[in-house]
Structure 1
Amino acid sequence: MAKKSKITAELRRQQVVGRYAERRAELKRASVNPHLSQEKRDEAMTALHALPRDASPTRLRRRDAVDGRPRGHLRVTGTSRVRFREMALRGELPGIVKSSW
């Protein structure tokens, strides 16, 4: 189980990313637009750097939906590998069976 503070910080980060997503996309497009002058592109890049660090989506981390474990995340189920195995063995995941040969 991850610390509550880490899970809360991640949720806050997701909100910040969502709040600044449109502005970031606009500035990124302007910073690489060849039709704008170099001065305008530099201004866009400066404005992009002035945004909060947590506004960048690369700072997000996928976590287990049940207990917040940050490592071994499987996108298919939204859980960690440990939780996935437990749920699969209990038969809670339809279509998932333990292999044997």
Structure 2
Amino acid sequence: MKYLIKKDNQRRNIFKKFELKRLYLKYIIYNDSISKEVRTNAMILLNKLPKNSSNIRIHNRCVITGRPKAIYRDFRLSRMILRDYAHNGLLPGIIKSSW
């Protein structure tokens, strides 16, 4: 599991590094007022970017266990770890709901 956590962190770092460049190139490609040659060159440059620079390749995983399912985005924790941390008071502001 540690390998998967490390791999996910690497993908997030690569995405952060190339995010603006990717957005800039996509803007050029989808803008009809720009000449066809420039748009084609932008398409070629976009294809040369690393695959992991796309946000589609990022998968939400628990940062503690590496579990890929039932992840709370705000905390990046799985439901089980979130529950344990909340019961132990390790997450400030999170309390058990009752009505």
TM-score bracket for this pair, using the shorter chain length: 0.7 to 0.9
| Gap regions ≥5 residues in structure 2 | none
| Gap regions ≥5 residues in structure 1 | none
- What amino acid sits opposite 2:95 in the alignment? I
Matched residue pairs, number?
A: 98
Partner of 1:96: 95
Indicate the RMSD between aligned Cα atoms, in angstroms. 1.9
Kindly report which structure 2 residues correspond to 1:1-101, keeping only aligned pairs within 5 A, or say none.
3-93=1-91, 94-99=93-98
Name the CA distance, whole Å, in 2 between partners of 1:76 and 1:8: 19
**1:96 Cα deviation after fit:** 2.1
Identity %: 32
Name the CA distance, whole Å, in 2 between partners of 1:51 and 1:67: 30
TM-score, normalization by structure 2:
0.81
Structure 1 residues 36-67: Cα deviation after superposition (integer angstroms, max 9, x where no partner): 01222122122212211011111111221222
